[in-house]
Structure 1
């Protein structure tokens, strides 16, 4: 009995054995998961260490200087150097008549107005001793004074210095009937003359400046006054209306009056012949009931009825402008008025006669908006125009409209452009664009960080190195001349210097391995690869960079905190910017997660959807991921979208797509969110875009659009899509929400 009892005590119950087995297996699973996590952390740390080694190597080699916005270095009175006078004032060029010593490239281009014009896109100064240039605005009164009085008035200017160096005389008269030779009889010395009409013997090429007539509003948007771009082909293919003023000595010197008369008769005869054959597509009249005074001899006067002229141009695909037969004039008021009206009303100007000077020819490529032909092409110009495709005509009309709105439409735009042209001659960059301040909702910008329990990762992939945050390089093109000039012909804002733009050119593929490798992170160190190699480097055709996440929120604190938690460990994230659209601040008990990068919560002045597109100063990267607080994207989807955006950085790249088209039946825009194989918009509730477009949206886009967004409390994403496509002429890029699927380029 005793032995049996001992045996029974040594037997382990079967239930206890199973429990221990389950416990051990659970412990093994926990340890295995910890090992897997540790291995992943080690791998990530090793990858980060490799990136740090690369950064150190680049810093040691000092490939790139540190650049910032231009610093002002101003000149004083002692910079007034003595310049040798040219043999003749008509021989003035910038090198012989302009005092560069007052205009350091670091000066910021300070401008002194004798009669101060406020709120211009120039560095205005009240201190003339620091000025680079001195501006004299000539108004309507000058037509009532003599040249001798004008000359004496100029000499009495306190900073004329005897010869008018660095003075800009701007004629802004609004009278088309004014004397053509306003400054011709006065000694203007070294001063640069800026006006619409010019006699050939007075105009100094690459020194004086031809501007459009000052007949628009003082400042402000003019889009309501302009006809739509479409239809491309209008009622009349070509139009012209005017009455020739001739039978007077032209004093051309190179051609006799008889030769000139024969040419003009040929023009009239040929155009009438075209009209007879192609009526009603051609509208041409060589007579007026009443005319606008002011045409010079040898020029076609304009007919008096303004409204009939405007309506004719609105119905014309092309507008014929015949340059003055009297070639002793390179620009006249009437010629410039015809040109101004054609651009305004969308009739592509066709200039017959190539001796005239168009406004701002030094910085604007007029061949993109205008057809310019010598009169010798008279018999061929109609055939040439017929070869233009709808696409070509739309491009020219759109370019002409941009030139008009930006450089012609108001007194302010004319002044801004003339001064920007002079600044560009001097290789001085525009004033830098100022970012929007980002006040924090927290006092001293501090808040309590709470260590939440980490959310389960949605995948175990290594998506990229976890680097220290770093900003994008700013103002890298401060003094790049070709960039200066390109800005004037590219849709956008030519009057400000932006920290960066999405239009950077790409280096040849081999350059990153032959001396130009600063910042590049090629896949597999240049050998390519997939999987492991792809995840370890950002790759692409541009140097490494990061993105800023901008999240708009309103009264959804719990949703916001959960969305922020999901960002922890996201590669290439520079910081998270929360736009707090709620007038009430966050509650003190709200616990903010530690996501490994800074979180900046911005206090807004009002609840507006436009706030999500403000160019905040805390956004230090070119790339912005705009995302709603209730949008849920996995890390791999975000990183994939970022990689795609880096190769399409001038476009919106994102996830939720929409479709729009013109509804012919209802004569309105059609918009829907139905599933479609063709998409034309990407919503900014989950999309990457360049910070440059935040500047454009907030400062350049018509204010009426932002007002409409506030009125509807909606449609800001539509506005941004139209804006980007308007600037680039490209659609957005839709990225599928599964990285194994393809990208759709629309």
Structure 2
């Protein structure tokens, strides 16, 4: 078989007219391509030629109601100093300074009092500086610090149209950052301005800002909102949530109780499936032109469904009246007739489209009410994505497939919806309910990258159980002496013996013989209880005659002149103490009451369990909050006398010379970390046979301590409750000789 000849000549065209037509079409297409290339701006030539740059396409409605397309890249969207895509932990960070600092140590410089007139900070930036300076993350010595926060430049709000925009000052031109800008934090909520809203345009190009800020922007860790996937530096930057200026700093604001609000519309039942009244809701601005209009101006197409409620308004900016369309008047009328909070509380899903920037206030607002957010922002990096598992809470939609969203949401089962709603509320309470929690979550996320050996388990951070919430909150606030298995089901809900230490505080105001009898009566039930591993007796400086039983028992330790409850129990891992039972020398608890209280705490290990409950209330006459010393059905905290306190709460407590203040301090810490009310256990009679807590000095000391704690925490974390666990409620028809607690009926 011979091979075909390679040098064969081409055949002539048999149909010259067809060949000529094809040649003309080819020449015409080449001419069109040449004209388009000549009319294309040079910047777009550079974008199409350089394939290594990230190209971003923005569709938007222009002011003349025409639909346009704009191309931008990393270099066009920001100053060259702020664009450092090569920054990683190994290139822009001195990790050696962070090898031995746990928790993360942050130095703030130059130190300026936030109340000083020399500062021109925004209120939120001043709050962030104050939160870090008063936390365990603060380090006053720059040689021991891992990260730095420069207070000369307020980088939080960099929109020139904002009232919080910081203008240049004389000190900026002479200020230079430490370490050449490395190991610095850059907090930012708003960057860019109308009409481009460039992501990394921090508006520091004015020479009066100095060159120091350019070094910080180039090498610092950006803790920033509205970060896109193309400009986000993985494992280096932190995606920050967008929150309003009036977001609570530490918790709900301290204000008088509001009058009762009318009940929300009832939940609709569809067959046996329990659903909220609306499937999907949204209320917000509808941009008729500019960035973000390609998404928000198309939301009206979703109104055709009955269970979808979309409310928009055109009232935005200065030119909205000149550029409004035919639908604006009708939309504004419906927009003003509905309350957004009521809509969200009666909706299963809340639409969260992007605004002028990638993020939106609607994201945290929907999480706060347990409404599942449906995100419409294709390039948006979710907040703290390397720490929080958003797959069980957020539904990510595609801006290009808007009409498919309602039908997709209808495919979710009821059980899946309930789990997502519960997890959304958990994430908000745990990480986003206050400014300090948001800041501490960002710092904990950075620490987990720099110190991976001390990283808190991700399953504990994302679990929505009560015990893991308690541990996660303490971890965010800087408590590193935690054991994640402290409240594990293997230990607390098994037959393993718990180690509980009883601390008995001796009152020195009584004479020694009477005190000796009371002390003997208090210790006998503790020695006979199997759940009490050790007894610590705190004695005053004066001499006290102790019973022989106290002196010779190996389970009893004596302490003198102790300033706080925490100093009595050793704070080490070998001790392995689960909880502490506090009693006074005048306590009248029996063995059965103690064992029942321990059983209650074992079922709720994240709460404080006590016998003597108290309440706080708002006094209209004095225009202030006060604490009550009366026994009422409603209570919000329990006294330390006769209470069981988890060891994790005790480790986070502070020293106090007053017993009244120690009780309130433990109550504040427990409610602040767990966000749960304490548990009251019923008893046969009053815990103590003394009325010293009603004396004027005791009430005055309690009031002063309560006011001081409110100033320290910034809010009142107490949560009211009416639940009382009484042993009489657990009686049954079983013969008492077969029970574990033989004298339960006599309590």
TM-score range, shorter chain: 0.5 to 0.7
Structure 1 residue 132, shift from structure 2 partner: 1.0
Q: Tell me how far apart the structure 2 counterparts of residues 427 and 579 of structure 1 sit (CA, whole Å).
A: 40
Secondary structure, counterpart of 2:236 in structure 1: coil
Q: 1:372 to 1:242 in 2, by over 3 A?
A: same
Q: 1:113 to 1:318 in 2, by over 3 A?
A: farther
The C-alpha deviation readout for 1:582-626, integer Å capped at 9, x for no partner, is xxx697554345432334568799xxxxx9xx6555365223235
User: Map of 1:270-669 to 2, 5 A cutoff?
Assistant: 271-274=302-305, 277-278=306-307, 282-290=308-316, 311-312=341-342, 315-318=345-348, 320-324=350-354, 333=357, 335-353=359-377, 355-374=379-398, 376=401, 377-384=404-411, 387=414, 391-392=418-419, 395-396=422-423, 398-403=425-430, 406-407=431-432, 409-410=434-435, 412-427=436-451, 481-482=457-458, 485=461, 490-492=468-470, 493=473, 494-497=476-479, 499-500=481-482, 503-504=485-486, 546-551=499-504, 557=515, 558-568=517-527, 573-577=532-536, 588=543, 590-595=545-550, 596=553, 597-600=555-558, 615-618=566-569, 621-626=577-582, 629-634=586-591, 650=605
Structure 1 residue 307, shift from structure 2 partner: 12
Is the 2:188–2:224 Cα contact (8 Å) retained in structure 1?
A: yes
Structure 1 residue 736, shift from structure 2 partner: 7.7
Is the 2:352–2:360 Cα contact (8 Å) retained in structure 1?
A: no
Structure 1 residue 372, shift from structure 2 partner: 3.4
Which of residues 210, 216, 219 is equivalent to 2:246?
216
Structure 1 residue 317, shift from structure 2 partner: 3.0
Q: Where does the alignment leave 5 or more consecutive residues of structure 2 unmatched?
A: 1-80, 112-128, 206-213, 268-275, 572-576, 614-630, 653-665, 679-698, 707-715
Q: Does the alignment pair 1:692 with 2:692? A: no
Q: Which residue of 2 aligns with 1:741?
A: 739
Q: Which residue of 2 aligns with 1:446?
A: none
Q: Does the alignment pair 1:171 with 2:195? A: no
Q: Tell me how far apart the structure 2 counterparts of residues 366 and 655 of structure 1 sit (CA, whole Å).
A: 37
Q: 1:248 to 1:502 in 2, by over 3 A?
A: closer
Q: 1:157 to 1:103 in 2, by over 3 A?
A: farther
Q: Does the alignment pair 1:94 with 2:89? A: yes
Q: Which residue of 1 aligns with 2:141?
A: 127
Q: Tell me how far apart the structure 2 counterparts of residues 91 and 604 of structure 1 sit (CA, whole Å).
A: 55
Q: Tell me how far apart the structure 2 counterparts of residues 91 and 157 of structure 1 sit (CA, whole Å).
A: 26
Q: Which residue of 2 aligns with 1:245?
A: 287
User: Map of 1:66-105 to 2, 5 A cutoff?
Assistant: 89-105=84-100
The C-alpha deviation readout for 1:96-140, integer Å capped at 9, x for no partner, is 432211111445422122354345234322332332112235246
Is the 2:107–2:140 Cα contact (8 Å) retained in structure 1?
A: yes
Q: Tell me how far apart the structure 2 counterparts of residues 654 and 414 of structure 1 sit (CA, whole Å).
A: 30
Q: Which residue of 1 aligns with 2:671?
A: 701
Q: 1:232 to 1:190 in 2, by over 3 A?
A: farther
Secondary structure, counterpart of 1:123 in structure 2: coil
The C-alpha deviation readout for 1:320-364, integer Å capped at 9, x for no partner, is 33434xxxxxx9657332213333455442324554222222222
Q: 1:140 to 1:107 in 2, by over 3 A?
A: closer
Is the 2:370–2:422 Cα contact (8 Å) retained in structure 1?
A: no
Q: 1:100 to 1:589 in 2, by over 3 A?
A: closer
Is the 1:547–1:623 Cα contact (8 Å) retained in structure 2?
A: yes
Q: Tell me how far apart the structure 1 counterparts of residues 193 and 700 of structure 2 sit (CA, whole Å).
A: 38
User: Map of 1:34-73 to 2, 5 A cutoff?
Assistant: none
Provide the aligned length of Structure 1 versus Structure 2. Answer: 507
Q: Tell me how far apart the structure 1 counterparts of residues 547 and 195 of structure 2 sit (CA, whole Å).
A: 69
Q: Tell me how far apart the structure 1 counterparts of residues 319 and 726 of structure 2 sit (CA, whole Å).
A: 51
Q: 1:183 to 1:306 in 2, by over 3 A?
A: farther
Is the 2:287–2:316 Cα contact (8 Å) retained in structure 1?
A: no
Question: TM (normalized to structure 2)?
Answer: 0.52
Q: Tell me how far apart the structure 1 counterparts of residues 199 and 493 of structure 2 sit (CA, whole Å).
A: 61
Secondary structure, counterpart of 1:562 in structure 2: helix
Q: Tell me how far apart the structure 1 counterparts of residues 103 and 608 of structure 2 sit (CA, whole Å).
A: 36
CA RMSD of aligned residues (A): 6.0
Is the 1:561–1:593 Cα contact (8 Å) retained in structure 2?
A: no
Which of residues 150, 173, 191 is equivalent to 1:136?
150
Q: Which residue of 1 aligns with 2:235?
A: 206
Is the 1:363–1:488 Cα contact (8 Å) retained in structure 2?
A: no
Is the 2:251–2:717 Cα contact (8 Å) retained in structure 1?
A: no
The C-alpha deviation readout for 1:15-59, integer Å capped at 9, x for no partner, is xxxxxxxxxxxxxxxxxxxxxxxxxxxxxxxxxxxxxxxxxxxxx
Q: Tell me how far apart the structure 2 counterparts of residues 561 and 126 of structure 1 sit (CA, whole Å).
A: 49
Secondary structure, counterpart of 1:97 in structure 2: coil
Structure 1 residue 291, shift from structure 2 partner: 6.2
Secondary structure, counterpart of 1:701 in structure 2: helix
Q: Which residue of 1 aligns with 2:200?
A: 183
Q: Which residue of 2 aligns with 1:676?
A: none
Secondary structure, counterpart of 2:361 in structure 1: helix
Structure 1 residue 383, shift from structure 2 partner: 0.8
Secondary structure, counterpart of 1:392 in structure 2: helix
Q: 1:565 to 1:365 in 2, by over 3 A?
A: same
Is the 2:299–2:310 Cα contact (8 Å) retained in structure 1?
A: no
Q: Tell me how far apart the structure 1 counterparts of residues 570 and 246 of structure 2 sit (CA, whole Å).
A: 38
Q: Tell me how far apart the structure 1 counterparts of residues 464 and 737 of structure 2 sit (CA, whole Å).
A: 39
